[in-house]
């Protein structure tokens, strides 16, 4: 028997939403967080819109010592983790030694910090490079800082698979739970909204050139012209059912019931894309039939070829118009390693409240035979949600989330029968 892993805490930092309540109500209402870039002058660049987080004052949340040492994304991650732990009602310092670990996803390094230090090096000289550069920019900075801040000494890690990596990190956290670790802090938060990060994000030519925020990121539309970069993500607390029950009365959002990852054949290959197989494998692990899935959170690249491949995989598995499909990331832009963990958080809240949040700005839903949830949220019971995340160059990851069997209470643990313990 495998030990189910329960999500018991959520911390979100996202355009239009700092904290779960603010973000969830904005998400259900379909509020667009995409607008003209303010952190630098976007005029010289081919993309001028972003999903920026505004009103984030790290000094209000973090010790002053940490402020000059860390990149913006690390500050955001530290705050999200604090909220997630508080939401779960866990203080890692009170747990037994090595009972808690951190596995997060990363896509870009701490680029804003890095750009400043590269500028110091190249315009002034090596002696002007900050002593914090080595730890502020590298891809493992977030779990490092999180473990230090909360005294978490269990197994930790960082997964990178572009925008698919967020799910890989949650899956890796679940492996640690299965191996006996009680609490894992997981998810991902990304930000590279400095000019240097910006030109790198735009390099593949997939970012939208549209200047109207209402028309910039329209996945699955016939005339989709790309995505909009954003910043933020979500940190989740994952616990073993046992640890969760031992704490008695604690809340839980749902379980990570299935996961699979695949990699597509190279461009130009005559072999088929692998997303369909990943969806089917994840459903198989969750012991869920396609008709039992209540909603699919799409990767929603907004790039016609990628949209087509994803739509075909969804239709192949669930049938034409077979399942509600949504992409709340149309409100925030793509958040790189933070996007999929945010979708997982959103899926869990959809399960909690029985609301499927909408995709916005997608006015042409007829391009593919998908039941896209557009314009406004849809009320219906949600027990099983599928999250799809795809990364540049061919990464696919799929996760199946499932509600707890009796509202937000601890599930009963029955050997061999956990996955069949549905409340349909």
Partner 1 sequence: MPHQSGDAERRRVVITGIGVVAPGGIGRKRFWDLLVSGRTATRRISHFDPTPFRSQIAAECDFDPAEHNLTPREIRRCDRMAQFAIVCAREALADSAIDLGRIDPARVGVCVGTAVGATVSLEQEYVVVSDSGAHWQVDQGYAVPHLYDYLVPSSVAAEVAWQVGAEGPAAVVSTGCTSGIDAVAHAVELIREGAVDVMVAGASDAPISPITVACFDAIKATSPRNDDPEHASRPFDRTRDGFVLGEGAAMFVLESAAHAERRGASRYAEIAGFGSRCNAYHMTGLRPDGREMAEAIRVALAEARVNPDEVDYVNAHGSGTRQNDRHETAAFKRSLGEHAYRVPVSSIKSMIGHSLGAIGSLEIAACALAIDNGVVPPTANLHESDPECDLDYVPLVAREKQLDAVLTVGSGFGGFQSAMVLVHPDRRGRR
Site for partner 1, residues 255 to 274, rule: CB under 8 A: 260-266, 271, 274
Phi, psi of 412 (to 5 degrees): -75, 140
Residue 120 as a binder of partner 1 (CB under 8 A): the answer is yes
Residue 91 as a binder of partner 1 (CB under 8 A): the answer is no
Strand residue runs (E) in 4-99: 5-14, 17-18, 34-36, 49-51
User: Given the rule CB under 8 A, which of 30-38, 107-115, 320-328, 346-354 is the region that contacts partner 1?
Assistant: 107-115
125 burial level (CB within 10 Å; 0-12, 13-18, 19+): exposed
Residue in 32, 110, 112 with CA at minimum distance from that of residue 74: 110
Alpha carbon separation from 300 to 14, 170, 188, 359 (Å, rounded): 18, 20, 18, 10
Residue in 337, 52, 289, 14 with CA at minimum distance from that of residue 167: 337
Cβ proximity to partner 1: between 55 and 268 the closer is 268
Give bridge partners of residue 93 from the DSSP assignment.
none
CB 18 within 8 A of CB 28: no
Footprint (CB under 8 A) of partner 1, residues 302-331: none
Residue 60 as a binder of partner 1 (CB under 8 A): the answer is no
Q: What is the nearest approach in angstroms of partner 1 to the Cβ of residue 56?
A: 21
Strand residue runs (E) in 212-319: 232-240, 254-263, 295-297
User: Given the rule CB under 8 A, which of 82-90, 148-156, 340-348, 357-365 is the region that contacts partner 1?
Assistant: 148-156
Q: What is the nearest approach in angstroms of partner 1 to the Cβ of residue 339?
A: 13
Residue 71 as a binder of partner 1 (CB under 8 A): the answer is no
Q: Which one of 336, 345, 368, 383 is in contact with partner 1 (CB under 8 A)?
A: 336
Alpha helices per DSSP H over 258-369: 275-286, 304-318, 339-353
Exposure string over 296-319, b if 16+ CB within 10 A, otherwise e: bbbbbbbbbebbbbbbbbbbbbbe
Residue 186 as a binder of partner 1 (CB under 8 A): the answer is no
User: Given the rule CB under 8 A, which of 14-22, 128-136, 212-220, 347-355 is the region that contacts partner 1?
Assistant: 128-136
Residue 394 as a binder of partner 1 (CB under 8 A): the answer is yes
Q: Is 397 helix (H, G, I), strand (E, B) or coil?
A: strand
User: Given the rule CB under 8 A, which of 48-56, 140-148, 299-307, 352-360 is the region that contacts partner 1?
Assistant: 140-148
Residue 108 as a binder of partner 1 (CB under 8 A): the answer is yes
Task: Report the alpha-carbon distance of residue 211 to residue 229 in Å, rounded.
Answer: 13
| Tokens found for residue 328 | 């709340």
Cβ proximity to partner 1: between 10 and 260 the closer is 260
Q: How many residues bind partner 1 (CB under 8 A)?
A: 87
Footprint (CB under 8 A) of partner 1, residues 149-178: 150-162, 165, 168, 172, 175
Residue 140 as a binder of partner 1 (CB under 8 A): the answer is yes
Footprint (CB under 8 A) of partner 1, residues 198-217: 198-205
Residue 44 as a binder of partner 1 (CB under 8 A): the answer is yes
Cβ proximity to partner 1: between 393 and 414 the closer is 393
Q: Is 260 helix (H, G, I), strand (E, B) or coil?
A: strand
Residue 101 as a binder of partner 1 (CB under 8 A): the answer is yes
CB 52 within 8 A of CB 35: yes
In sign, the C-alpha dihedral spanning 4, 251, 338, 370 is positive
Q: What is the nearest approach in angstroms of partner 1 to the Cβ of residue 93?
A: 10
Residue 276 as a binder of partner 1 (CB under 8 A): the answer is no
Residue 56 as a binder of partner 1 (CB under 8 A): the answer is no
Cβ proximity to partner 1: between 158 and 323 the closer is 158
Footprint (CB under 8 A) of partner 1, residues 342-361: none
Residue 417 as a binder of partner 1 (CB under 8 A): the answer is no
Q: Which one of 61, 215, 277, 308 is in contact with partner 1 (CB under 8 A)?
A: 277
Q: What is the nearest approach in angstroms of partner 1 to the Cβ of residue 47?
A: 9
Max CA-CA distance within the chain?
65
């Amino acid at each position: 028997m495998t030990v189910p892993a329960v999500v018991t805490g959520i911390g979100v930092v996202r355009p239009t939403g700092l904290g779960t309540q603010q973000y969830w109500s904005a998400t259900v209402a379909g509020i667009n967080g995409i607008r003209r870039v303010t952190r630098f002058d976007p005029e010289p660049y081919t993309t001028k819109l972003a999903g920026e987080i505004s009103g984030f004052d790290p000094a209000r949340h973090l010790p002053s010592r940490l402020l000059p040492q860390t990149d913006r994304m690390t500050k955001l991650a530290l705050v999200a983790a604090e909220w997630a732990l508080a939401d779960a009602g866990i203080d890692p310092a009170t747990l037994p030694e090595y009972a808690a670990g951190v596995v997060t996803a990363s896509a870009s390094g701490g680029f804003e910090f890095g750009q400043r230090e590269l500028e110091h090096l190249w315009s002034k000289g090596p002696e002007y490079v900050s002593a914090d550069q080595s730890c502020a920019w590298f891809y493992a900075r977030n779990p490092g800082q999180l473990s230090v801040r909360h005294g978490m000494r269990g197994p930790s890690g960082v997964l990178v698979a572009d925008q698919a990596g967020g799910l890989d990190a949650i899956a890796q956290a679940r492996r640690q739970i299965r191996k006996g670790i009680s609490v894992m802090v997981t998810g991902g938060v990304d930000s590279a909204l400095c000019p240097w990060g910006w030109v790198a994000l735009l390099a593949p030519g997939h970012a939208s050139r549209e200047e109207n925020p209402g028309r910039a990121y329209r996945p699955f539309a016939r005339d989709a012209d790309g995505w909009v970069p954003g910043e933020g993500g979500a940190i989740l607390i994952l616990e073993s059912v046992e640890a969760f029950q031992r704490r008695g009365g604690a809340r839980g959002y749902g379980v990570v019931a299935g996961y699979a990852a695949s990699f597509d054949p190279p461009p130009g290959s005559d072999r088929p894309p692998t997303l369909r197989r990943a969806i089917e494998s994840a459903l198989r692990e969750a012991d869920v039939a396609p008709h039992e899935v209540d909603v699919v959170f799409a990767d929603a690249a907004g790039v016609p070829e990628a949209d087509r491949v994803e739509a075909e995989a969804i239709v192949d598995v669930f049938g034409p118009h077979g399942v509600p499909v949504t992409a709340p990331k149309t409100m925030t832009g793509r958040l790189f390693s933070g996007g999929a963990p945010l979708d997982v958080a959103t899926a869990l809240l959809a399960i909690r409240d029985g609301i499927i949040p909408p995709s916005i700005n997608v006015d042409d839903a007829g391009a593919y035979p998908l039941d896209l949830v557009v314009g406004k949220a849809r009320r219906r019971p949600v027990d099983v949600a599928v999250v799809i995340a795809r990364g540049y160059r061919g990464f696919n990851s799929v996760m199946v989330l499932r509600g707890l069997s009796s509202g937000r209470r601890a599930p009963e643990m029955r050997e061999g029968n956990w996955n069949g313990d549905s409340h349909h």
